[in-house]
Amino acid sequence: MKNLIAWWTRNPVAANLLMLGILIAGFLGFTRMEREVFPVVKVHQATVDISWRGASAQDVEEQVIARVEEALEDLDSVYRIYATAYEGFASIRVATYPYVEIKN
């Protein structure tokens, strides 16, 4: 390893040519890279946030989350349901299989 580093220090022209080659390759790669202002991204999950002021976390879980989970468990495209109950708030994340399209 020391011999390789010593060779580059003894040959500054070679080091500068290597640096120039890397910069040109980077510039050419950047100019040929596909860029979009609004790229298309496929999302395989949806989040549902529900607020219920004054309700306890247990009430939110029993009255809101349980009903949403029951409604979603019959869908074939649902992979997993993540639900969290807070005091006055419920957060439910629904993950789908990759081939499923979720529309806004």
pLDDT digits (tens, 9 = 90+) for 58-88: 999 999 999 998 888 888 888 899 999 999 9
According to the model, what pLDDT value does residue 103 have?
A: 66
Q: Is 82 helix (H, G, I), strand (E, B) or coil?
A: strand
Cβ atoms < 10 Å from Cβ of 55: 19
Domain ranges of the chain: 2-32, 45-96
Q: How confident is the model at residue 99 (pLDDT cuts 50, 70, 90)?
A: confident
Single pTM value for the model? 0.57
* Residues β-bridged to residue 48: 92
Most confident of 18-27, 53-62, 74-83, 93-102: 18-27
Strands 78-86 and 45-51, bridge-based pairing: unpaired
Q: For residues 85 and 60, is the Cβ–Cβ distance under 8 A? A: yes
As given in the structure block, the two tokens for residue 99 are 């081939």
